[in-house]
Amino acid sequence: MFLIVGLGNPGKQYEHTRHNIGFDVMDALAEKYNISISEKKHKALCGKGVINGVKVVLAKPQTYMNLSGESVAELVNYYKMDPEEEMIVIYDDISLAPGNLRIRKKGSAGGHNGIKNIIAMTGTQNFLRIKVGVGEKPAGWDLADHVLGHFDAADRAEVEKAIGHAVEAAEMMITGETDAAMNRYNVKKKEE
């Protein structure tokens, strides 16, 4: 079994904001595989299904972003999963342009409070992740205002493509093809 967690904030006012890109990817996965993410448990909305022959739990923590680890730790403990082997976390990344992805096998929180809390609550930073680019905050903007804001039409079009790529990457990762997913979808760093 695999746990796939998309990060975001609950509530209508946060729908489709930059910070809720993880929820958008979960909705796309759920739609593609006809999984209903509606069961309220473990401080999350959850749904069970099968993707590429692998049993999955799709989860959207409802704790607000900064406490995402509370929900993730409950899910990992309840399903007796090893977060280092059986979990993917999907979330926004302001250091990537809208539409870009970066897949990692492990890493620090990189300033992302949701990831920081997951690392604290699960006791590991060695879990698979798909970071979806939402763009850097404009100069002079407050970070919270930026990540809680909506994309303009051009950026949203790029993000919709990225959501599809994140779904495909997750499909590959749960069947052990993380390296292939990284090769296919990771943005090549610009030459300095």
Q: Which residues are annotated as a binding site for tRNA?
A: 14, 64, 66, 113
Distance separating alpha carbons of residues 163 and 142, to the nearest angstrom: 25
Element containing residue 27 per DSSP (H, E)? helix 21-32
Query: Annotated catalytic, 19?
Result: yes
DSSP code, position 190: P
Name 156's bridge partners: none
Beta carbons within 10 angstroms of residue 99's beta carbon: 22
Tokens read off for 48:
């069970």
Which one of 19, 42, 112, 165 is the catalytic residue?
19
Task: Report yes or no: 125 and 117 within 8 Å, Cβ to Cβ.
Answer: no
Which 8-state DSSP code applies to residue 186? B
Q: CB neighbours of 82 closer than 8 A, spacing ≥ 6?
A: none
**Distances 43 to 80, 109, 123 between C-alpha atoms, Å:** 17, 21, 19
Nearest-angstrom CA–CA distance, 107 and 130: 11
- Which amino acids are annotated catalytic? 19
